[in-house]
Amino acid sequence: MQKIIGAFMVTAAILMSGVSCGGARNGSAAGDGAPSSETTDAETASVPEFDADSAYVYLKRQVDCGPRVPNSVAHRKTGDMLVAELKRSGAQVHEQRFDAKAFDGTVLHSRNIFARFNPEKETGRLLLLAHYDTRPWADQDPDESKRKQPIAGANDGASGVAVLLETARQLAIKNPGYGIDILFVDAEDYGTDNQDDSWAMGAKYFADNMDAKGWRPAKAILLDMVGGRNARFPYEYFSQQAAPELNAQFRQAAGAAGYASYFPQTMGGAVTDDHVKLIEQGVPAIDIIDYDPRQGFNPTWHTVSDNIGNIDKTTLKAVGQSLLQFIYK
């Protein structure tokens, strides 16, 4: 994941200013984590059911590729798999290739993957995004001997991608009637402390070039680390500054889906993440991320413990169903 700008509570005063690394994807039963009983049938009748088991399979396929560090075979295979799955969902898919120079001088041969649903709908488009690369080093691992090992990135990377792949599958089944784009960004997690520009390089490349391509969205939602145990997603500071209405709408949807408890209406910290690059270009964007400055990131963040054994399908379900509620309502 990305560098913390501020690990602090924000006060009210501040707020005022086909290709596969593993097995082929199989159909699956409905996922874990049923909505609470407070949700009415009328509220959810027209919203598809998010399949957490299906999302878990998408997640596992990424992890089975190995660490998705840019320039690696696993990284290339994962990108190919994502392109194939998005095409399978009927999207118009574009591959945006670029070279990014990392803070240590390494040239990262990178690829953003951009998919359009209802591409003829030119206005009011919603962008959904997640990064698919993984951290090259477990630099936050409590065992110093493991800090130079790459991470599996089951939560930090694969979880957001998995939720969006399952969302794409649902979009193929039920057309939402307006334009939705899905973006898998690259070269997000190769950064270092005190160098903000070393993070989210794929998102920056997309944001810098979106107008020339005609790809500017009306609003954007980023998913990052959305599969961990005991996850909670408070407001992220930059999100609330740039897009308070979008934040409120998403939480309203989460409540209607029965998952309000996962999205407390409290302020988290400020995180340098992919959404910031869009905000800098004038796009209202929010970050759905498991981070609270009082507790930090999920305990597996940038450690070798970020593996599939620490993924919770209930969290995938909560985020995915809330997102579908937002899309279809």
Q: Name all domains of the chain by residue range, CATH numbers in brackets.
A: 4-328 (3.40.630.10)
Task: Evaluate if residue 182 carries a pLDDT over 60.
Answer: yes
Query: Which residues lie below 8 Å from residue 317, measured CB to CB, with a gap of 6+?
Result: 31, 32, 33, 50, 52, 55
Residues near 1 by Cβ (< 8 Å), separated by ≥ 6? Answer: 135, 156, 189, 224, 225, 271, 273, 289, 297, 301, 302
27, pLDDT greater than 50? no
pLDDT band at 48, cuts 50/70/90? very high
Q: What is the mean pLDDT of residues 12-21?
A: 44
pLDDT tens per residue, range 88-145: 999 999 999 999 999 999 999 999 999 999 999 999 999 999 999 999 999 999 999 9
pLDDT score of 23: 54
Q: What is the pLDDT of residue 292?
A: 87
pLDDT grade for 326, boundaries at 50, 70 and 90: very high
Cβ-based neighbours of 230, under 8 Å, separated by 6 or more = 312
- Is the pTM here over 0.75, yes or no? yes
pLDDT of 221 strictly over 50:
yes
Q: Which of 279, 102, 61, 281 is nearest to 189 (CA)?
A: 102
**Mean of per-residue pLDDT scores for the chain:** 89
